[in-house]
Every structure is written in structure tokens, then in C-alpha cells.
Amino acid sequence: MLKSEILAAIEEMVLQNQNELIQTRRVIHQNPELSFKEIQTSERIYNALQEIPSLSVSRPTETSVLAVLKGGKEGKALALRSDMDALAIQEENQIDYQSLQPGVMHACGHDGHIAMLLSAAKILARFQSEIKGEIRFIFQHAEEYHPGGAREIVRQGVLKGVDGIFAVHLWVPLSVGKIGIARGPLMAAPDNFDITILGKGGHAAMPQETIDPILVSAQVITGLQALVSRMNNPLDPLVLSITGIHGGGTAYNVIPSQVDMKGTVRTFSREKRREIPAVMEKMIAGVCSAYGAGYTFQYELGYDPVINDDSFVSKISDILLRTVGADALETVSPVMGGEDFSAYLQDVPGALLFIGAGNAEKGIVNPHHHPRFNIDEESLVIGLRVLILTSMGFLDMI
């Protein structure tokens, strides 16, 4: 087929698939499953892929799915990835396809990612004889929960022989119709920490006889914020947030013996990831020493930052400029959220793109991980189109 004929056929198939695409997303949305527990979700995906004769379907891990499409001509190998886990959030949306699982919902767009990649596999399989090379469709478990599913997928050898990997992420901060592209850093490394301040409890009316861990905790929190505001170059992105604090007080007149805190650190810098734990502990130790308190401190490295490969981004940008036009493309700034797509980028060049899914006119403005998170479903068609066009462009078909 001529390139113009392929492009026309793609557009026709995308539009024909629109209703099925939306319905698939809604079914997945109604039946969310948490990280490492995607039993029904992966089974649903596996069965759907098995119905496409051109695909070779397997299970790299218990709750992930891999489909391989070998083209009729020699060429490169490209991997496409969708995550598929949900979050422990009670959905507050009043919609026909509201989550049927109490306390669990798709609040980050993974339901849409699944639907788009399933449709992309179905459409791309119809071009098998024209495809130059191979496409691997990775439906990955446990993106939301460290240590994440991507590392397991990589360890299973799924990327062996792959020349590049690509993924899209539905993104509500970006308006529907826009495709967000970033060269280099896109999403930060999400590290976590736990702090326990060990004091001496007692009567609140006699604080001089106690070592008040609540007072010490307040000083520790203030000191930790100073690491960002006064000890870090403001041009070097760094976030340190305390996200939980529990004093354990049992009555109005009781000073507790300890306070537990937890939080997260976000950065793009490998050097800073090595330095921050020691600097934090020095701050904590100094404050505790001043008040005679003890402490425990644990720091856990999360996912690596998502750093898009420049040459890969250049190639897909050129493809999208030629196929969807410059008006749809928007350069986006890095965000401090994390993504375990970074594990793939340690092995092969690739990129993660944002697909605009927000629409203020429709009230679709709630952020990711919010109980009323939703997407403008027009974004699914755009994301599907991007997956297909990028794949064919990477394999030199269009």
C-alpha cells in the first residue's frame, strides 16, 4: 500500500473503533484492581488479544500480558506499553460506569491506556503484511505501587532485541486535543521516607518533665522544609513533602512518647538522590539532640526519573508533525510525579508522551489520584491515533 493509502485506512479504522474504544475503557473503569492484584483485568486483556489471529500472546508475570505482532517484512522492533492497575480511592463520580469495587478506582487514566493499546493492537494487526519489523504490546501490572511492575517485565527479557519503547499517558492538566512532548526530563524520581521521633511522655500540665516529641517534630518539619527553600538551588527542582504525622496522644492532657511521620522527596538529579538522605538525617539528628530526643529514619529509593531519549523524541515529533500537525503538539515542562516507565528507559531508548484529557467546559478538571478524577473520552481517539501513527512511523511505514 502507498503511504497515503495507509494513512487513510488508519483514520477510517480509528473512527470505526471509537465506540468500542470508549466501551472498553468504561468496562475496565467499572472493574478496577490494585497493583499486583490485576487478575481479572489481565485475564480480560489476554482473552481480547487471543481473538486477534496475528498476535502471539503470553504472560510474562502472573498479572501482566504481552502480545507480539511480527510483520511481513524485516525491520526494527518497537515496544508499546500500557499500565493497568488502579488506586485505593473511593470513587465519588456519579457516572453510569462508576467503579463497582468499594474503595478502588481508576483515578489516573490507566483504564484508558488499556483501551487505547488494545485497539492499537487490533488495528495494527490488520497491517501485518505491511509492517516492517515487530511490535510488542506490553500490558504492565503495578505501576502505582513500588517497586513497580516494569522492573519485573524487564527482568523477564521482554525488551530483548527491542530498538525503542513508547507510551502515552492521559493527562488532565493538558486540554483535550493537545499532545504533550518533552525532551529529556519529564517525570521525577519519587522517593519515600519514614521518621519516628522518640521522646518521653507525661502529663501535659508538667511539660518540663517530658521530652515532647510533638514539639520536636514541628522543629524537624520546619528544618526539612528549609532544605528545599534555603539549601537547594531554586533552579534545580526538588520537592520534600510531609504527607503523614501521627502523635498517638490518648487524651487532652497526655504528651505522647513518640511521633511518626512519613513523606516523599522528588527530584530529577541522581546526585541529589545520593545526597538528600544524609542531609535529612543530619538535620533530624541535630534537632533531636538539641531537645534530648531520639529518632529513627528510613529512606527508600523509588522509581528512577523518566528521562525521554532526545533522538527518539525527535523522530516521533517529526512523525506527528507530518501526520497530526503542529497545532496539536505542545512542549510540556517536567512534572514532579513519578512513573515506573523509567525502568524501560534504562534498557532501551524511548519516550513517554502526554495526551491531553482535560476539559474545563465539561467540568473535567480534577487532578490525577482525586476521587472525582475523570477524562474527556475524546482523548482516547487521539491517543489511539498517536500510538498507531508513531508505531508505523518508527517502523518506516509512513
Report the candidate in 10, 54, 27, 53 with the shortest Cα–Cα distance to residue 114: 27
Question: What 3-state DSSP class applies to 293?
Answer: coil
Residue the block writes with cell 505542545: 330
Contact assessment for residue 165 and residue 348, using Cβ atoms and an 8 Å cutoff: yes
Which CA distances in Å does 209 have to 109, 201, 205, 290, 293? 53, 8, 9, 16, 13
Q: Are 88 and 103 in contact (CB under 8 A)?
A: yes
Which cell is 42 given? 489481565
The 329-331 sheet, strands edge to edge: 55-58, 65-70, 132-140, 73-83, 164-175, 350-358, 179-181, 329-331
Residues 6+ apart with CB under 8 A from 235: none
Task: Report the catalytic residues.
Answer: 85, 143
Quick one: cell of 178?
Answer: 493537545
